[in-house]
């Protein structure tokens, strides 16, 4: 499970980075939107793969797309 948590943490972190990259968004809004869509799809796919293997609280955060909360949860249960 640690590798799966690492992958999930990386995907969540990458999504947050893309959202926060205002220069990317301002310079190429179409590419920014595509990058956001791709990372979101990767997150949803990985979440689907983890169903039944993760805690109910983490499941709740991911179902509701509370990705910041999901990342904080993962950082608590599996710090670097």
Segment among 3-7, 35-39, 45-49 with least mean pLDDT: 3-7
12's tokens: 């969540």
2-20 and 29-50 helices, crossing angle to 10°: 160
When divided into structural domains, the chain yields a total of 1
Q: How large a percentage of the chain has pLDDT more than 70? A: 94
Distances (CA, A) of 61 to 28, 50, 75, 80: 30, 13, 14, 21
Domain assignment of residue 71, given as a range: 2-77
Q: d(Cα 63, Cα 29) in Å, to the nearest integer?
A: 27
What is the model's pTM? Answer: 0.87
What was the pLDDT predicted at 52?
Answer: 87
């Amino acid at each position: 499970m640690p590798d799966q948590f690492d992958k999930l943490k990386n995907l969540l972190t990458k999504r947050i980075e893309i959202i926060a990259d205002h220069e990317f968004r301002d310079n190429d809004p179409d590419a920014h939107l595509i990058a956001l869509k791709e990372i979101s799809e990767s997150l949803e796919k990985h979440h689907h793969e983890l169903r039944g293997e993760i805690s109910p609280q983490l499941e709740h955060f991911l179902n509701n797309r509370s990705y910041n909360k999901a990342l904080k949860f993962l950082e608590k249960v599996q710090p670097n």
